[in-house]
Structure 1
Amino acid sequence: MTAALIGLGRMGLRHLDNLLALKLEVVGVCDPFDQARAAAKEKAQLSDDRLYADPVELIAQSKPELLIIATTAPAHADLTCLAAEAGVKAILCEKPMATSLADAQRMIDVCKSHGARLSINHQMRFMDQYILPKQMLDSEQFGGVTSIHVSAGNFGLAMNGSHYFEMFRFMAGAPAAEVQAWFSADKVPNPRGPQFEDRAGSVRLVTASGIRFMLDASSDQGHGVRVMYGARHGQIFVDELGGKMNWTVRKAEHRDMPTTRYGMPWEEGACDIPPADALVPSLRVLEALLAETDYPTGEDGLGAIRALVAAHVSAKEQHRVVRLDEELPETLVYPWA
């Protein structure tokens, strides 16, 4: 299969590593910066005719079967639609999927109408730090997930918070039904440029069945990502950056007792878990897209964007609870990177 890549920043070069690992024929790479193209040329041993500064030219001339879009978010929608219209059959787009709900939906619609498979690089279903807790939480021993709490440094609610909105859908087995948000008052400069803005703060999601999620990534927090999963019979704690997991769970003979008996005898355990990293999980997303099995779809990406837009609405409107089935600002464009 022939493949091309647009965007050769840090994440783009990781995607290039994955294309090489899968032994795909890289027919073109694109970035406006000479230094970025030179780094990709050396990494993949590419000839000059496979280096592009203009993504439109890359799509038209290289005619890839697979395209990875690793640019900043404002370019995602137009490049995805252009690729689908040009006959590209598999597209992997970085997150956040788009900078408006209308653009995210347009990406889905254009890909469907041209027979292109669209995947958004939300890798949670392929990461051990989520797979293992989900297996445990879904077991009779733990009795099902009831809540998720994430405490993190200020990693941006669009940049990384959108990942956790998709993580919540995956772990809960259902989409969020309502959103409430509290944004930090200050706006920290975005490392990707002054034209971009990504808010910090806290966001609460709840499914229709009552499973709860709370993310605190406020601007006064500068380190760490720790997750606590609550279940009917126990708790699981994950240090995502440190690669540590531990848990505590009621002994089997006490599982039928009411939750008010919260101090009954318990069992506990701990293990190492692979620390958070984007390279291998992104490879798994790409493999699933190519195999057409269980990849994060455009609809999954749209769900994360709807939660993100609802968070902006809630924070702007005095933290009101916003239902995800209500009308949201479809065409409003956000300055996400």
Structure 2
Amino acid sequence: MTDSIHNILLVGAGQLGSRHLQGLARINIPVSIEVIDPSEVSLRTARERFTEIAKNPYIREIRFNTNGNGENSAIDLAVIATGADVRADVVTALIGDKQVRNIILEKFLFQRESDFERVGALLHERQVKAVVNCPRRVYPFYLQLKEILIEDGPINFRVDGSNWGLGCNGVHFFDLFAFLTGEYSSIRIDEVLLDNTILESKRPSFVEFTGSIRGANGRGDMIEISSSIEPGTPLHISIGTGTRQIEIQESAGTAFFVKNHVGKVFQETFTVPFQSQITGTVAQEMLMNGACSLTPYKESVHLHLQLLKTLLAHLNNVSGKQYENCPIT
């Protein structure tokens, strides 16, 4: 284990950012952490949540600031947990001002199509390694499930439930679909059955969508994500193959496996890890290896753009306007 101290910058200390900080508080290599957020309230929450974690001798220093891009000129790892509306500007300002080695970006990445190319070009130019926090691919249950599905061939992947935030969270399930099938570049959206009512998000100034989106990939795997405006249905994932059916209820931590030719039902229980249990591990992987198990930026961009273009086109069609950005986060 190296004795050098790694500089970590966390930008955004809101609900999710503060959970990232709790994860970083569990890291097992020497680090200096700086947290930046313009809101004193958010910084206070982050401080409180940081102190909930047992004191860690590997945290050599921690600072909280409301302004700027941090005090260090060289950043070994930046975690960008801002809203999607400002994330592209935050990333470009940070990379333009600092020497940054690695970045973990929150989803939904950006609201404008042009931002993906702008940020991607800068990451390439400055040789910054970037990943996107779609963490289901690091859940132990889905890692095991991927191994099971390898022998089954194409899958039919469905997600449904009530008001689960299709706009904000849909990319999580497209990412899980890509992870389980091993395909991402050939994923496409084939059918859009979104509702004409655009909803206000729980987060001010953002919107949400209900209805269904269907797609597929070049291997023949199929995906459908559906969010109903009617309340009362928990989020549910269904995966069908030629040999088995799998029904997953993450909130209950249960999965039911049915072999098609036998009909026998096997139940497995699992635990969904919190973000505070994930960030420290993936951050340490990036700092030590320059890579981690989260989604590489290039792969995630393709999935994000498939959804962004679909949602923005629907928003413009329903509103009769020509927005350049889709206000999801």
The answer for the alignment partner of 2:176 in structure 1 is 167
Q: Would the aligned equivalents of 1:181 and 1:312 in 2 still touch at CA under 8 Å?
A: no
In structure 2, what is the Cα distance between the partners aligned to 1:232 and 1:318? Answer: 38
- Structure 1, 3-12 or 184-193: larger mean CA deviation: 184-193
| Structure 2 residue matching 1:229: 3-state secondary structure | strand
Identity of aligned residues (%): 20
Q: Which of the residues 16, 19, 22 maps onto 1:14?
A: 19
**Structure 1 residues 146 and 318, CA gap change in structure 2 (3 angstroms):** farther
Corresponding letter in the other structure for 1:219: I
| Structure 2 residue matching 1:40: 3-state secondary structure | helix
In structure 1, what is the Cα distance between the partners aligned to 2:237 and 2:304? Answer: 22
In structure 1, what is the Cα distance between the partners aligned to 2:146 and 2:222? Answer: 15
Q: How far is 1:137 from its partner? A: 1.5
| Structure 1 residue matching 2:213: 3-state secondary structure | strand
| Structure 2 residue matching 1:158: 3-state secondary structure | helix
**Structure 1 residues 107 and 310, CA gap change in structure 2 (3 angstroms):** same
Corresponding letter in the other structure for 2:267: A
| Superimposed CA distance per residue, residues 24-68 of structure 1 (whole angstroms, 9 cap, x where no aligned partner) | 5344211122122123334447999932212xx133556432111
Unaligned runs of 5+ in 1: 251-263, 320-328
Q: How far is 1:185 from its partner? A: 2.6
Q: Would the aligned equivalents of 2:161 and 2:236 in 1 still touch at CA under 8 Å?
A: yes
| Structure 1 residue matching 2:214: 3-state secondary structure | strand
In structure 2, what is the Cα distance between the partners aligned to 1:59 and 1:301? Answer: 27
Q: Would the aligned equivalents of 1:28 and 1:58 in 2 still touch at CA under 8 Å?
A: no
- Structure 1, 73-82 or 307-316: larger mean CA deviation: 307-316
Q: Which of the residues 142, 148, 152 maps onto 1:130?
A: 142
Q: Would the aligned equivalents of 2:80 and 2:106 in 1 still touch at CA under 8 Å?
A: yes
Corresponding letter in the other structure for 1:152: G
Corresponding letter in the other structure for 1:232: G
**Structure 1 residues 26 and 181, CA gap change in structure 2 (3 angstroms):** farther
The answer for the alignment partner of 1:306 in structure 2 is 305
Taking the TM superposition and a 5 Å limit, the aligned residue runs for 1:232-247 are 232-247=242-257
Unaligned runs of 5+ in 2: 1-5, 52-58
The answer for the alignment partner of 1:198 in structure 2 is 208
| Structure 1 residue matching 2:200: 3-state secondary structure | coil
The answer for the alignment partner of 1:51 in structure 2 is 64
The answer for the alignment partner of 1:3 in structure 2 is 8
Large movers: runs of 4+ above 6 Å: 45-49, 316-319
Q: Alignment RMSD, CA only?
A: 2.8
Corresponding letter in the other structure for 1:88: V
Q: Which of the residues 34, 39, 50 maps onto 1:33?
A: 39
Q: How far is 1:110 from its partner? A: 0.6
In structure 1, what is the Cα distance between the partners aligned to 2:254 and 2:42? Answer: 35
